[in-house]
Amino acid sequence: MTTIHTIILSVIEGITEFLPISSTGHMILAGKILGINSTDFTKSFEIIIQLGSICAVAVLYLKTLFKNLDLLKKTFVAFLPTAVLGLIFYKIIKTYLLDNVWVVLASLFIGGIVIIWFEKKLAKTAPDQKIVPIDSNSISYKKAFYIGLAQSVAMIPGVSRSAATIVGGQLLGLSRTQIVEFSFILAIPTMAAATLLDVYKNYHLFSSADIGQLSLGFIVSFVVALIAIKTFLKYIKKNSLSSFGWYRIVLAIISFIVFIKL
């Protein structure tokens, strides 16, 4: 990986981490297009630079969490399913799924269809849901756990953690803004744990040059994510998520055509 590769992947991570389009899927596709060889380091890089994006969320929401102990507890409950399943399936995911383009494309395509269908259904049944802000009283511990289960599906590359939690939360009756903000907050322990687990298992493989690339990736993804989070929140207050569904489908089809010819 070159410095340019590091910057490109980090910008992609910062933009896509909190959008319902799968940051991991985008980085895998971008890596293939850029001709980056898949190694243990590149796989770890795709996981670890997400910490930059998560720190952006922490900057924006940590004060809210410390002022709302109940919300903090519910975030922990929502985190548990992914934590347990992540530990169980970590090796399988990193070995067989994290570099699999076809899994990513299938997940992007199917996820796009689900988002479009769900948004059409939601528009008919609850057209005003998207303007209600986050409120811990509307998220019970049971709902938090179910949202966590929905999030765990995103361990499959291309599914999108954001999309899984948003759809799961709205199915449970949360407004779009509520579940999007809760999804942001839930990302803090989820991605921090994923990063720490990967560092613990692979730190001995990193050279000083690798650490430099990881540091650069962290900074770039942090700055870009700050902008992306604020922009996304403004967007969803006035728009549905259908455009992201169509984007996923088009990206999957174009990428399929590109990779089938390689």
Which residue from 251, 204, 224, 206 is spatially nearest to 104, judged by alpha carbons? Answer: 251
CA separation for the pair 21, 183 (Å, rounded): 14
**CA distance to 89, 114, 119, 154, 160, per residue, from 85 (Å):** 6, 23, 28, 11, 16
pLDDT (tens digit, 0 to 9) for every residue of the chain, 262 residues total? 899 999 999 999 999 988 999 988 998 899 989 998 878 788 888 888 888 898 998 898 888 777 888 888 999 999 999 889 988 888 888 777 877 899 999 999 999 999 999 988 877 666 555 455 566 678 899 999 999 999 999 889 899 999 999 999 988 988 888 888 899 899 888 888 888 888 888 877 788 888 899 999 999 999 999 999 999 988 988 888 999 999 999 999 999 999 887 6
* pLDDT value of residue 80: 94
Question: Exposed, middle or buried: residue 200 (CB in 10 Å: 0-12, 13-18, 19+)?
Answer: exposed
* pLDDT value of residue 79: 94
CA separation for the pair 9, 156 (Å, rounded): 19
Residue type, 10: S
Q: Which domain holds residue 26?
A: 3-261
How many structural domains does the chain have? 1
CA separation for the pair 94, 202 (Å, rounded): 12
CA separation for the pair 95, 97 (Å, rounded): 6
Q: List the structure tokens of 156.
A: 């499959």
CA atoms lying within 13 Å on the CB side of residue 186: 35
* pLDDT value of residue 133: 59
Residue 52 parent element (H or E):
helix 50-67
CA separation for the pair 129, 223 (Å, rounded): 30
Residue type, 117: W
**CA distance to 180, 192, 228, per residue, from 163 (Å):** 9, 19, 15
Which residue from 93, 95, 105 is spatially nearest to 38, judged by alpha carbons? Answer: 95
* pLDDT value of residue 89: 86
* pLDDT value of residue 47: 82
* pLDDT value of residue 192: 86
* pLDDT value of residue 127: 52
* Cβ neighbours, 10 Å, residue 84: 12
